[in-house]
Amino acid sequence: MPGPVVREIEAKSILNASKIYDYCVNPYTGCQVGCAYCYAALFMRRYSGHSEPWGDFVDAKVNAPALLARQIVKARRGKIWFSSVCDSYQPLEERYGLTRRSLEVLAGRDFPVVIQTKSVRIRRDIDVIRRIPEVEVGFSVASDDESIIRAFERTSSPVAERIEALREFRAAGVATYAFAGPLLPGNPERLAALLDGAVDRVLIDRMNYVPAVRALYARQGLLAALTDAFFRDQADRLAKALRARGIAVEKVF
């Protein structure tokens, strides 16, 4: 697969208001992970003026760390989320290090940080992350079934590696969570067993952007997995199995 079209740009703002947490930081516009179910794909292509398909373009905000350093000194304390409309640890982070250098700005500062990713590239930054006083590392894990995951996500890490990375962060004293969303077909009891000992809590969400992925579900013969009954059943089974193992659960739908 050819690489994405990459542009280097200067952002005007990097510490932006978020509806989910107080702030979000997106060091990149565009996301090579290219998930078929991505809600950001619905609006980010138009917003960024790109004609390439979602997953095939990335703008690297090369001034992100310097801009964050300027904005943070004027900001009111609040929780910062990496990232709302990209994966901060998509492959290009190896080249640009914008996430790492942005996190370095936050090390030792009194701003809680949440980092959610699908890539074990985050391991590289465990030293910086541990220097952030209040920090949580989360991995999206939408199914235990690697073949299902591969049908929906382009460049994410294998599920087993994500869970291994969660264990490493937790063993290093960093709070961890899994985002089981958007729930994909799989075995919820097996997923709960895999997450046991790796996370402090699990958030469960459903697929909310059905029109964009309906055709993909149809091609995979998975249309039954788009019904309300499927999400109810899958989420209930997962929540029950997690609670039985003493893991805190939050359904966000």
Query: Is residue 100 part of the contact set for ligand SF4 (CB under 6 A)?
Result: no
Binding flags for ligand SF4, 219-238, as an x/- string (CB under 6 A): --------------------
Helix (H) or strand (E) segment spanning residue 214? helix 210-219
When binding is defined by CB under 6 A, the residue of 24, 59, 60, 87 that contacts ligand SF4 is 87
């998975």: which residue's tokens? 222
When binding is defined by CB under 6 A, the residue of 4, 27, 34, 65 that contacts ligand SF4 is 34
Distance CA(248)–CA(27), nearest Å, equals 30
Query: Is residue 118 part of the contact set for ligand SF4 (CB under 6 A)?
Result: yes
Question: Which CB atom, from 34 or from 65, has the smaller least distance to ligand SF4?
Answer: 34
When binding is defined by CB under 6 A, the residue of 15, 33, 122, 129 that contacts ligand SF4 is 33
Distance CA(31)–CA(155), nearest Å, equals 10
Question: Which CB atom, from 72 or from 206, has the smaller least distance to ligand SF4?
Answer: 206
What number of other Cβ atoms are within 10 A of residue 223's Cβ?
Answer: 12
By rule CB under 6 A, what count of residues binds ligand SF4?
A: 10
């949580």: which residue's tokens? 136
Q: Which of 24, 137, 134, 139 is nearest to 80 (CA)?
A: 24
Query: Is residue 115 part of the contact set for ligand SF4 (CB under 6 A)?
Result: no
Question: Strand, coil or helix: what is 148?
Answer: helix
Question: Strand, coil or helix: what is 68?
Answer: helix
| Minimum gap (Å) between residue 41 Cβ and ligand SF4 | 6
List residues near ligand SF4 by CB under 6 A.
31, 33-35, 38, 40, 85-87, 118
